[in-house]
Chain A
Amino acid sequence: MNDFVIRRCLALIPTLFFASLIIFCAIRLIPGDVIDLMLAQNDVASSADRDSLRAALGMDRPVIEQYFSWAGHALTGDLGQSLWQNEPVADLIAQRLPVTLELGALAILVSITVGVSIGVYSAVRQDTAGDYIARSFSLLMLSVPGFWLATLVMVFPSVWWRWSPALEFTPLFVDPVRNLTHILVPAVLLGLSLSGITMRMTRTMMLDVLRQDYIRTARAKGLKESAVIFRHALRNSLIPVVTLVGLQAPLLIGGAVIFEQIFALPGMGALLLDAVFQRDYPVVTGVFLVVGVTVLFINLAVDLAYGYLDPRVRGQ
């Protein structure tokens, strides 16, 4: 197990290196001058402004040097200074990250509760009407754009019953009840839109396990069907479902951008969008980096958990 952990952690290094290159290139090397865009946005395009902004962003230095200076600072947790809010980017992100994590954790919970139960049902009743309905539902969840579902939830209850989801954000530790009433609707919607994938994966895994010899043995020795399903089959098919959390992490954060926008949640997605429209590139780069590193570490945690649960994985 120790070997496995060390190998898996070492494998992070090249991934992190390439990830930092991708972030750096996406912002700095794309044609179109970031500085011009930023100044055009604000009608203050004197050449002195341009030079001082360029120097402030460190863009007057050679590209290689820019990369190493940026990466070096990022390694020590220094993500630069926001151009508009005069605050360190790391602080801005630290204020917003908990909201996105809360939304994401609740959404995963919904996705797994809904997805795993429907997936198990669907696999056990393979090729029945219930299975077809469950599979159509999961395909529907894969096909409905989240922002449309959210729009419907905003518009129709308000038109019909004069009810609309709360849009005033309260931090979790100030008033947990009000916080949850606000965050619950987006979390359920985000979770539902992810449940399609969870359901499909659970069903595939479950069908796979149900065909194994030990399931036949369990049935042959006269166990009740419910015991076979829940004690033998489900336990083993849930192990790969653990990886789902890792697979869904990027989807979750991408979805969070849209749901935070619609439901006025002050999370990372909202921060990113504001920064994009204000052309606050240090913030854009910072969010991009934090998102990537978060996903990377979620994946690492999932892989380690998987190695712990399934000894066969460790040897690979």
Chain B
Amino acid sequence: MSANVPTASATTVEPTSDRPPHALSSFLRRLAREKPLGLAGGIVFVLLFVFCVLAQVIAPFDVNDTSLVRRLEAPSWNHLMGTDHLGRDVFSRVLVGGQISMIVAVLASALSVVVSVVLGMIAGYFGGRTDMITQRFVDAWMIFPDLILLIVVISVLGPGAPQTVIVLGLLYGIAGSRIVRGAVMTVREMTYTRAAQTIGASWWHILWRHILPNIAPVVILLFTARIGAVILAEAGLSFLGLGIPPPAPTWGSMLSGTGRSYMYIAPWLAIAPGLCLTVVVYSINMFGDAMRDLLDPRLRGTR
């Protein structure tokens, strides 16, 4: 974990108002120059994301269109990834499954970042007893394995997309609050924060206008680092039959359940969903790593 953890340092971060108007494009140029592989990962992820979001437009067949005549067909031009034991087109199912994965991943990651920022800012800025109590709670939270916590909560709530998003968001949000807290504690000691306190700015104003913009890089890193983890966690849950319930196709559930016994006759069923998972997670991890190297001054120049 800690190899992935972004550390914050206020030295790298200029206040947003001083940024040149083309900060984004100059950042992308720097990314392309210094981390071409990371940029490639980002591009692959965005492409796959667009494919999956447009799944219904691209998919050649309906995902639940069964046909006993064309069951377990090997991959061909008509069925790029073959068909499954009910004659459903695997390519279409992979696309739509990807759409579900991506939407869950983006929503859950966004929620987790919000939770991390709120908890981390409160604990980091106010310190003292508030911090002590939150930290003991986070300690306790972190001892539970992600998957076990997910299984237990989903078993009570029942499987479904909204539950999955909320539970994943809370799960990673609470864990990530540590990182935000560390960043906030650094920024809290900076002269500009002290100056704002001295002229009597409210804590709300300070958190919003001074702290938040200065921990922005950490927040961005947290978001990119979460997407891959969330996709894998959701796939694991679906694989165990606790994710988004059928007939909706998901990458995890395509590798489990009844389809599993047919893989010995139709091995292509075992490849596509897992390969998609791996490529998506690999590309976003590559992008996340490159971003960390660029945004995190402590690691800069070490590789």
- Could you tell me which A residues sit within 8 Å of B by CB distance? 14-19, 21-22, 26-27, 30-32, 34, 37, 126-127, 139-140, 142-148, 151-152, 154-156, 158-159, 197, 200-201, 204, 207, 247, 250-255, 257-258, 261, 272-273, 276-277, 279, 284, 287-288, 291-292, 295-296, 299
Task: Look across to chain B and name the residue whose beta carbon is closest to the beta carbon of A285.
Answer: B152
CA distance A116 to B263 in the complex (A): 35
How far in angstroms is the closest Cβ of chain B from A197? 7
Interface centre among A31, A140, A143, A258, by most B CB within 10 Å?
A: A143
Say whether, besides A152-B274, A251-B145, A204 and B3 are in contact (CB < 8 Å): yes
Say whether, besides A19-B143, A250-B142, A299-B143, A273 and B303 are in contact (CB < 8 Å): no
Q: Pick 27 A–B contacts, CB within 8 A, sort by A.
A: A22-B140, A32-B156, A140-B282, A143-B278, A145-B235, A145-B278, A147-B255, A148-B255, A151-B263, A152-B270, A152-B271, A156-B270, A197-B3, A200-B3, A200-B4, A250-B144, A254-B146, A258-B147, A258-B240, A272-B151, A273-B151, A276-B151, A276-B152, A276-B155, A277-B241, A279-B155, A284-B155
CB neighbors of A among B1-16 (8 A): 1-4
Residues from chain A with a CB closer than 8 A to the CB of B242 are 276
Interface string of B228-242 (1 = CB under 8 A from A): 100010011001111
How far in angstroms is the closest Cβ of chain A from B265? 9
- Beta-carbon contact of B282 and A143 below 8 Å: yes
- Beta-carbon contact of A197 and B240 below 8 Å: no
List 10 A-B pairs, minimum CB-CB distance, nearest first. Answer: A148-B274, A18-B140, A254-B147, A254-B145, A250-B145, A143-B281, A143-B282, A19-B140, A276-B155, A200-B3
Within the complex, which residue of A144, A145, A291 is in contact with B144, where a contact is CB–CB below 8 Å?
A291
Say whether B216 faces chain A, with CB atoms less than 8 Å apart: no
Interface centre among A22, A295, A299, by most B CB within 10 Å?
A: A22
Within the complex, which residue of A30, A144, A155, A253 is in contact with B263, where a contact is CB–CB below 8 Å?
A155
Residues from chain A with a CB closer than 8 A to the CB of B256 are 147
- Beta-carbon contact of A207 and B302 below 8 Å: yes
Interface string of B118-159 (1 = CB under 8 A from A): 000000000000000000110111111111110111011110
- Beta-carbon contact of A295 and B145 below 8 Å: yes
Say whether, besides A250-B146, A284-B152, A144 and B264 are in contact (CB < 8 Å): no
- Beta-carbon contact of B274 and A145 below 8 Å: yes
Task: Look across to chain B and name the residue whose beta carbon is closest to the beta carbon of A149.
Answer: B274
- Beta-carbon contact of B151 and A22 below 8 Å: no
Task: Look across to chain B and name the residue whose beta carbon is closest to the beta carbon of A34.
Answer: B156
Residues from chain B with a CB closer than 8 A to the CB of A22 are 140-141, 144
- Beta-carbon contact of B270 and A291 below 8 Å: no
Task: Look across to chain B and name the residue whose beta carbon is closest to the beta carbon of A19.
Answer: B140
Residues from chain A with a CB closer than 8 A to the CB of B4 are 200
CA distance A197 to B4 in the complex (A): 9
- Beta-carbon contact of B264 and A148 below 8 Å: no
Say whether B267 faces chain A, with CB atoms less than 8 Å apart: yes
Residues from chain A with a CB closer than 8 A to the CB of B232 are 143, 145
